[in-house]
Amino acid sequence: MISIIIPCWNDANALQECLSRVAPIAGGHEIIVADASSTTDCAAIAATFPAVRLIRCDRPNRGRQMNSGAAAATGDVLLFQHTDTELSADHLAAVERVIAADAQIIGGAFHRKFDPRHRSRQWLVPIVRRWQSWRRNFYGDQSIFVRRSHFQSMGGYAEIALMEDIEFSGRLKRSGKVIVLDPPMLSSARRHRRHGKLLVTLENVALIGLFKLGVSPDRLHRWYYRKARKLASGGEGSAIGAPQIEAGA
C-alpha cells in the first residue's frame, strides 16, 4: 500500500483540485492531508472525501508537515504529493511495479514535463531528463516516494524553513538505490503566471545555489516569502517549504 501524503497550508482551491484527482484513483492506497492552515477551509474540504485522513499540524513547515503525515501512515511506501502537481493512476502503478520488482530500490521520484502549450520550451525536455537521470536530485513537485521503513531509518525530513526536499533527496540518494520514473509529471505554473517566467526561474536558481553555498534556510525563507506575507490568506503554494521549480510553465 502507498500512503499519499499531501501537505497543505491556506490553499483550499488547490487542495480541492488535488483531492478530486487523487481520491478516485487511490483504490487500496491511503490519503493523508497534513494541514497547517490558519483557517478551517482545507479541513472542511478534506472532510468531504471519506477516504481522506486529516492530520492537524501546529505550524506551517512542509518538512514538519510531511513528517507528521508519515508518522500517521500505515503504507509500505510513502509518496509526498504537492497539491498543484498532477498525480495519476499510472504514477501510482509505476511506483507499485518498481518497488515490487527490485528490493534494492529505496525510493525515487518522477520525471517532469513542460506544458505542451509552450512549444518553444519542448527542446529542453530531453536535456532535463538526462540531467535528472544522472544527478537524481529530486524536488517536491516530482512526487518523491520512499519505502516507509527506510524513511524512518533516515529520520524523515529536516524540519527546516526552506529546501527540505533538496536536503532530503541528497540524503536519500546517498543512502541507497533511487530511480526516476515515467510517466512524467506536470505541475502548476501559477507562480510563473503571477510573477513572470524569467523572474521565477532566476529566483529559484539563486535560492538553490545559495542553499548549497550554506546560506541559512531561514534567511532564504524570508526572502522567498517576502511577497506572500503581504497576502492575508497565503496562497503562494500548498505549504511553506521549497520553492516550486515549475516544469508546467
| Cβ atoms within 10 Å, residue 108 | 24
Q: Is the pLDDT of residue 30 over 80?
A: yes
State the burial class of residue 247 (Cβ atoms within 10 Å of its Cβ: 0-12, 13-18, 19+).
Answer: buried
Which of 41-50, 66-75, 115-124 is predicted with the least confidence, judged by mean pLDDT? 115-124
> Cell for 90?
499510472
With cut-offs at 50, 70 and 90, classify the pLDDT of residue 230: low
The residue extents of the domains of the chain are 2-230
CA within 13 Å, CB half, 52: 27
pLDDT per residue over 205-227, tens digit each? 777 778 778 878 778 777 776 65
Tell me how far apart the alpha carbons of residues 55 and 97 are, in angstroms, rounded to a whole number. 29
> What is the dotted CATH code of the domain comprising 2-230?
3.90.550.10
pLDDT band for position 186 (cuts 50, 70, 90) = confident
Which of 50-54, 170-174, 175-179, 194-198 shows the lowest per-residue confidence on average (mean pLDDT)? 194-198
Which of the four pLDDT bands, split at 50, 70 and 90, describes residue 129? confident
In the chain, what is the straight-line distance between the N-terminal and C-terminal CA atoms, in Å? Answer: 32
pTM tops 0.85: no
